[in-house]
Amino acid sequence: MATCNGAAFIEQQLHSILQQTLQPDLIIIRDDASEDTTFEILTRYANQRGFNISQNPQRLGVNNNFAQAVAEVPDGYLIAFCDQDDYWLPEKLEKSVQLLTSLTTDPTQPAMVYSDLMLMNEAGELIHTSVHHQRGQHRYEHVWDTFLYGNMVSGCTIVMNSAMKSIMAALPAQQDFIYDAWLAMAAFGFGKIAQLPQPLIHYRQHAHNVTFADHRALTRMERWINHWQNSWKNNTYLQEEIQLAKAFQLMYANRLPIEKKKNLEKFILLNNAHYLKKKWHFEMSFRNYWTNRFGG
């Protein structure tokens, strides 16, 4: 768990972890120089079995703080990422571990699982039953070709094996993309990855966290207006995704199967392409993976 100024909700999250049907062997919490009472709350748990709590002397940021925490995990342990203000359903760990252990028997092969999320407000009231539905990510298969055009893996849902530790350690510094996209790209590219069939986390949406409110699926009319506007002006479509792809290519191109490597190279070449060309490549990449393109 990476924390930073999370005093308002962190005890509820810790309670949900301690109520898991499969209890974690180790709970590593790194506080990122909180300015509220977060670390004071955490110190109440410091003497409980399995807790490893520390505080950074200066702010590292989300990526670096999580990377430091993962580096502290003993080899051979499975790793679950945890945000400070969510709420885990009781079977979150148990079901995730069951699916993860079914993916591979090779401990050297990177593997991870993820799930959808349910949204709740600050009061803990459920406001949406599926982030994937809200963002339109339920309408297509989650595979390498579709992942390139947008990450559908939320970090707080990830459970991964020990072989993924080196990938987290290789996360480039000073990049705009978040750690979950980096890990998911490796898992889709040369590892094993699977989605659980149901959401297992209540993600708390509030004024001080990164929410999904601005990333909802557009209506058909909104999509057409967006296409028209972007077709005649400079656009930033796929800018973040291409940045991620470039960094990943530098690090892991040689680990990709030939076809995936070619797809990655073609995707990166879209960097300075016109919006309509980018959309044409999007259509070609998704054409075999739609399951409910225009449905609800």
Per residue in 253-291, pLDDT (tens digit) is: 999 999 999 999 999 999 999 999 999 999 999 999 999
Residue 290 has which token pair? Answer: 């739609």
Q: What is the pLDDT of residue 38?
A: 98
CA dihedral 102, 105, 108, 112 (to 10 degrees): 0
Whole-structure pTM value? 0.92
* Structural domain boundaries in the chain: 86-296
The torsion angles phi and psi of 173, rounded to 5 degrees, stand at: -80, 160
In tens digits, the chain (296 residues) has pLDDT values of: 999 999 999 999 999 999 999 999 999 999 999 999 999 999 999 999 999 999 999 999 999 999 999 999 999 999 999 999 999 999 999 999 999 999 999 999 999 999 999 999 999 999 999 999 999 999 999 999 999 999 999 999 999 999 999 999 999 988 889 999 999 999 999 999 999 999 999 999 876 655 544 555 555 555 545 554 555 455 789 999 999 999 999 999 999 999 999 999 999 999 999 999 999 999 999 999 999 988 76
CA dist 129 and 162 (Å) reads: 31
**pLDDT (tens digit per residue) in 184-225:** 999 999 999 999 999 999 999 876 655 544 555 555 555 545
